[in-house]
Amino acid sequence: MSAKESTLPDYRDLAPEVATRFDRIRQRPVLLSVQNLEKKFGTNGSTHTVFDGITLDIHRREFICVIGPSGCGKSTFIRIVAGLDEATGGQILLDGKAVTGPGHDRGMVFQGYTLFPWLTVKRNVMFGLEMRGKDKFTAENEARQWLDMVGLSKVEDSYPHELSGGMKQRVAIARALANEPRILIMDEPFAALDAQTRCQMQSYLLQIWKKVDVTILFITHDLEEAAYLADRILVLGTNPGRVVEFIENPVPRPRSPDQFVEPAYLSLKLRLEELIHPPVEVEEDKLPMIKLTNAGDDVE
């Protein structure tokens, strides 16, 4: 918990419908339970604790965003959830079963474009389905349905290099969802896109999430993206990584740009800014004695 008192007012005062939504979410079964998770890396006899004591529950169909300073262990955390890396302590339960390795119950989308360049869009989506033993006809049909879902039916025979960045990520989402994961794990998936495409992708993702029975765990460094997408926002701190706050997003759904001037949004944004950019306190006499400017042009 943060030492500083939260400036986030009780959302019940701001938006009663949000309180009702969270009451409903809490009644859903827990999908992912993270219990006292610890990760240490050891090199040449010394160990570095990435994070320690991460404990949280995520309910079915929640949309969780994870934010925190660079290096606090966000990617490591979700790689462990995905089964791509191992924890050094604690455990993760998915639907009550311990996670011990990768599985098709978890889908991944990364920032970098990870499509197979030598396969067409449709073949990229079919790949996982065929790997799981579906015959070509079924895999093709299902791939087409997922491409329709992300609005890319028209480019099913194109190759990845023929697509824009946003389209590539939509194929990556279709490919991940085609395996019918219980949870979709996304590591800064829109960070490389231009601002306008990023906004479009956020709206697409919300539309898809509404239609598909999937829970989303989404890393971002963009506070506005977290405020727009998430039910709850997990704020991680650094040295060692830990849960600083797990914030219930007070902004009502459906969300739209005009809500960005509402008190619920502004109070959330302020709280996130406080947690991510705590005030820097430097003692005057510890400042280096370097003067690069003339007296009179000091900045505040």
Ligand X SMILES: Nc1ncnc2c1ncn2[C@@H]1O[C@H](COP(=O)(O)OP(=O)(O)O)[C@@H](O)[C@H]1O
Smallest gap from residue 70 Cβ to ligand X (A): 4
Residues near ligand X (CB under 6 A) are 41, 50, 68, 70-76
**Residue number, 70 or 196, with CB nearest to ligand X:** 70
Smallest gap from residue 218 Cβ to ligand X (A): 13
Size of the site for Mg ion (CB under 5 A): 2
Smallest gap from residue 129 Cβ to ligand X (A): 30
Smallest gap from residue 219 Cβ to ligand X (A): 7
Contact mark string toward Mg ion, 34..73, x via CB under 5 A: ----------------------------------------
Out of Mg ion, ligand X, none, which partner does residue 202 contact, by CB within 5 to 8 A per kind?
A: none
**Residue number, 66 or 121, with CB nearest to ligand X:** 66
Region binding Mg ion by CB under 5 A among candidate stretches 20-28, 75-83, 203-211, 247-255:
75-83
Smallest gap from residue 159 Cβ to Mg ion (A): 28
Q: Which residues contact 190 (CB under 8 A, 6 or more apart)?
A: 169, 197, 198, 201, 202, 220, 225
Of 118, 114, 109, 87, give the one whose Cα is nearest residue 100: 87
Q: How far apart are CA 77 and CA 37, in angstroms?
A: 9
- Residue nearest Mg ion, CB atom distance: 75
Smallest gap from residue 48 Cβ to ligand X (A): 6
Out of Mg ion, ligand X, none, which partner does residue 106 contact, by CB within 5 to 8 A per kind?
A: none
Out of ligand X, Mg ion, none, which partner does residue 294 contact, by CB within 5 to 8 A per kind?
A: none
Out of Mg ion, ligand X, none, which partner does residue 73 contact, by CB within 5 to 8 A per kind?
A: ligand X
The single residue among 37, 63, 75, 201 that binds Mg ion, judged by CB under 5 A, is 75
Q: How far apart are CA 69 and CA 89, in angstroms?
A: 22
Out of Mg ion, ligand X, none, which partner does residue 116 contact, by CB within 5 to 8 A per kind?
A: none
HEC secondary structure over the chain: CCCCCCCCCCHHHHCHHHHHHHHHHHHCCEEEEEEEEEEEEEECCEEEEEEEEEEEEEECCCEEEEECCCCCCHHHHHHHHHCCCCCCEEEEEECCEECCCCCCCEEEEECCCCCCCCCCHHHHHHHHHHHCCCCHHHHHHHHHHHHHHCCCHHHCCCCHHHCCHHHHHHHHHHHHHHCCCCEEEEECCCCCCCHHHHHHHHHHHHHHHHHCCCEEEEECCCHHHHHHHCCEEEEEECCCEEEEEEEECCCCCCCCHHHHHCHHHHHHHHHHHHHHCCCCCCCHHHCCCCCCCCCCCCCC
- Strands 242-248 and 63-67, by their bridges, are unpaired
Region binding Mg ion by CB under 5 A among candidate stretches 44-52, 74-82, 177-185, 232-240:
74-82
**Residue number, 75 or 120, with CB nearest to Mg ion:** 75
**Residue number, 74 or 168, with CB nearest to ligand X:** 74
Smallest gap from residue 112 Cβ to Mg ion (A): 11
Interface positions with Mg ion (CB under 5 A): 74-75
